[in-house]
Structure 1
Amino acid sequence: MIGYYMPNHRSRKWWRRIFTYLTMVSGHNAYVVGKDSNYKFTKKNGPNFRAFSEDLAGELTFGVKANHDPPLNHAPQPGKEHHRLVKRRDGLSKVCIECKAKGIKQKVTVYNCIIYDLPIHVNCLQDYQQRMLRM
């Protein structure tokens, strides 16, 4: 095994090569032992090494599930958009649209909604989201 491993490696994930090598060697040994111990095994009716290793991999990973499913669509769904506030890049203060819609004394803010790019206060965000869902 050491003859196949380069000591002057530049990869930080060198352990993957060793793990893959050991897995393949142990899989091949299991194939040879299984082939020799089964007297009915012939080249015509028995599985080849590739089919054997695919079956072995399927059995080893049976029941293993990823921590989370990959997202199907990266675009926000209508009605389920996530309004977040970000600080304005230009640093200018703008009039809060929620305060303006309520008829409250117009206050200025340096935050914008990330989806609609509209100025809104941190305290007014929840009211703004509810108003957007009703529309």
Structure 2
Amino acid sequence: MKDDKQLARGETDWKTSDSGLSIFKWKDKRSVHLLSNYHDPNLYTIVKRKEKNGTSIDVKCPRVLQDYNMSMGFVDKLDQLKTYFEINRQSRKWWHRIFFHFVDVAVVNSYILYRLIGEEITHKDFRRRVIDGLVAEKIVSLKRKRDNSPLEIKKHKPQVSIEVRLDSSAHQPGRGTRRRCAVCSTKINQVRTEWTCTICKVPLCLSKTKTCFQDFHSKA
């Protein structure tokens, strides 16, 4: 193919094989490469491009690129979601980059399917749930200090991941300072208790008449 410097804006270089496979190199601001077994290299369309002075000009563009732009929406969406929180890192081993890429693609696809089930959730919160699910067993097995507990404060209510909260084998009640119960306390009717879960660090009522401690660790 011609070198980038040999192509002016709007020019296309192409080659075809005996089996009808065509490769295109179209020069816009940068070179764009496309491969097709369907499009005729002689078919062109016109696209608008802005110059530095603000004026618009007509630029010739291969038909294959126009069809690609009309049909590539989902591929573009995948790349967009993947770049937000991707785990891809530089590595001396080339296959690491491929592995990281497929992990990111798997998480994005899982997020899309999860939303189709019906629950609305942000991409970041979904990734947090995935992480919680992977490390929940380790978190529960360790008796964390208060500052390092899985507790998060959100809208003045304690929040603990489902994976940690429902793994009840290591959760035990302990006494602490009197705080509002995470289950039954409301702004109108504030209920305070001195009982706290030693794993979740969440205040919960524990008495003959209330089952907040049991409810918190058994109901999703």
**TM-score calculated relative to the size of structure 2:** 0.22
Higher Rg of the two aligned structures = 1
| Structure with greater strand percent | 2
Give me the TM-score of the superposition, normalised by structure 1. 0.34
